[in-house]
């Protein structure tokens, strides 16, 4: 039963990309990954003036992997 509870908490790359695509400018994908500070900064700077969004386009799978590693630790 513990493994299914852990599986439910794992973050999904697909979900992160969907949040990035539709709500990235306000940082919803960062909140999803547990990065509240970065999410708040995206709200006030419109995704670091879009530069942060472009960076996230390429680094999101690694960010999800790191978030899942934190859940396992």
pLDDT 10s digits, 21-64: 999 999 999 999 999 999 999 999 999 999 999 999 999 999 99
**Cβ neighbours of residue 20 closer than 8 Å, sequence gap 6 or more:** 29, 53, 56, 57, 60
**Cβ neighbours of residue 54 closer than 8 Å, sequence gap 6 or more:** none
What's the predicted TM-score (pTM) here? 0.85
Residue 4 confidence class, pLDDT cut points 50, 70, 90: low
Using an 8 Å Cβ cutoff, are 56 and 20 in contact?
yes
pLDDT at 16 over 60: yes
Residue 9 confidence class, pLDDT cut points 50, 70, 90: confident
Provide the residue ranges of all domains of the chain, joining segments of one domain with +. 10-65
């Amino acid at each position: 039963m513990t493994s299914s509870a852990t599986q439910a908490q794992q973050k999904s790359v697909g979900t992160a990309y969907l949040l990035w695509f539709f709500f990235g400018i306000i940082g919803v994908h960062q909140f999803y990954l547990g990065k509240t500070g970065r999410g708040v900064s995206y709200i006030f700077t419109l995704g670091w003036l879009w530069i942060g969004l472009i960076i996230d386009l390429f680094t999101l799978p690694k960010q999800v992997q790191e978030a899942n590693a934190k859940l396992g630790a």
